[in-house]
Amino acid sequence: MIKIAVSSGDPAGIGPDICIKAFGQKIIYDFSPVIFGDKELFKSRAKTLGIDVDIQIYTGQEIELSNNSLWVANQYCDLNILPGRPDPNCADFIISNFEQAVERTISEEFEAVVTCPINKEIINKGGIQFTGHTEELAKLSKIDKVVMMLATKELKVALATTHLPLREVPEYITQDHIEETILIINNDLQKNWKIKNPLIKVLGLNPHAGDGGFLGSEDQEILIPVIKKLNDMGLNISGPHSADTAFINNNQIKPDIVLAMYHDQGLPVIKTIGFGKITNVTLGLPFIRTSVDHGTAYDMAGSIKADESSLIEAAKIAASIAIN
């Protein structure tokens, strides 16, 4: 059975809650999740949630992992973590869980890694420079470039840039960067999603894709030449499209994926359409990584309100890619 490493995220957030609700209630899956976190913290949180959970320590020697138990790769935390009370002193513990899950997936102990939410502010306040999961995954994998993609059953959106201040985005929109990004998307969709010749719809950087250069020159000088070059190589790219109408269903051929130029150009659309049922996937890695589509939700931590559906979907997608 497929083994999946699950990084439990910020213990003051809903990460432990959704892990317990998703994987600690004797639900049968076609994969075996192992949660990276503190066993005693999971015991305490399960009690707070009123959920009876059989917690077992994962040692790496188990031949088969029963779905009747919550399997924990125990990472001891010596802090008093309270639900909804984020603590920068916990930064080392959070990052250690994440790195352990990733490194043991790279070593092929696990077939995929799924990450629960963390808070960048808390990590940085704790003295660790951290931009986001996507960027750290590239570093841990010793890869120059990866691509962030959010996916539902109806729509996939990838990002040319991720966690940048808006004023810095144009600096990163170069021909080389866009070409490399599109090639990663194309290769990953072919390899892991079994899409033979994916149609990639590229959004313009500027309003109305620059309006012929009157609203900025990047679309004409950077995007159009790259799109032409890649189409001449046999890829299936359209654009640049004006972002304000690109997601409208007007009976045109549906793209396999939309490439947005920056974070808040593409993600508000897909999150409006499918929040709670979206999976964050990192393209271009030598292993499978998926994640939930939401944050730490400190206001719901330690309550039964936290919705585990995005975590379950992320694990199911990771397992399905691994099987392929």
Position 229 scores a pLDDT of: 98
Same domain, 3 and 132: yes
Helix (H, G, I), strand (E, B) or coil at 236: strand
Single-letter amino acid code for the residue at 257: I
Same domain, 27 and 101: yes
Do residues 58 and 34 make contact, with C-beta atoms less than 8 angstroms apart?
A: yes
Distance, in Å, from the CA atom of 38 to the CA atom of 17, rounded to the nearest integer, reads: 13
Same domain, 313 and 270: no
68 pLDDT tier (thresholds 50, 70, 90) = confident
Do residues 122 and 91 make contact, with C-beta atoms less than 8 angstroms apart?
A: yes
Label each residue of 115-141 as H, E or C. Answer: ECCCCHHHHHHCCCCCCCHHHHHHHHC
pLDDT, tens digit, 9 for 90 and up, residues 5-20: 999 999 999 999 999 9
Q: What is the number of structural domains in the chain?
A: 2
Assign residue 116 a region (left: φ > 0; alpha: ψ between -120 and 50; beta: otherwise).
beta
Same domain, 91 and 64: yes
pLDDT at 233 over 90: yes
Same domain, 136 and 26: yes
Token pair of 12, please? 């003051």
Same domain, 162 and 137: no
Distance, in Å, from the CA atom of 5 to the CA atom of 72, rounded to the nearest integer, reads: 10
Same domain, 56 and 174: no
Distance, in Å, from the CA atom of 242 to the CA atom of 57, rounded to the nearest integer, reads: 52
114 half-sphere exposure, CB direction, 13 A CA radius: 32
Rg (CA), the chain: 20
27 pLDDT tier (thresholds 50, 70, 90) = confident
- 6-15, 231-240, 248-257, 295-304: which has the minimum mean pLDDT? 248-257
Give the residue numbers spanning the domain of 21.
Answer: 1-143+285-324
Crossing angle of helices 224-232 and 175-192, in 10° steps, is 40
Position 277 scores a pLDDT of: 84
What's the rounded mean pLDDT across residues 22-43?
Answer: 92
Position 265 scores a pLDDT of: 97
pLDDT, tens digit, 9 for 90 and up, residues 305-320: 999 999 999 999 999 9
Token pair of 51, please? 């959920």
Helix (H, G, I), strand (E, B) or coil at 211: helix
Give the CATH number of the domain where residue 165 resides: 3.40.718.10
262, 249, 60, 67: which is closest to 159 by C-alpha? 262
**Average of per-residue pLDDT values in the chain:** 93
Same domain, 149 and 275: yes
Same domain, 8 and 111: yes
pLDDT, tens digit, 9 for 90 and up, residues 102-157: 999 999 999 999 999 999 999 999 999 998 898 899 999 999 999 999 999 899 99
Q: Is the dihedral of CA 173, 176, 177, 183 positive or negative?
A: positive
Do residues 282 and 137 make contact, with C-beta atoms less than 8 angstroms apart?
A: yes
Same domain, 177 and 291: no
State the pTM of this model. 0.91
Do residues 11 and 77 make contact, with C-beta atoms less than 8 angstroms apart?
A: yes
Same domain, 94 and 199: no
Same domain, 154 and 241: yes
Single-letter amino acid code for the residue at 179: E
Position 251 scores a pLDDT of: 64
297 pLDDT tier (thresholds 50, 70, 90) = very high
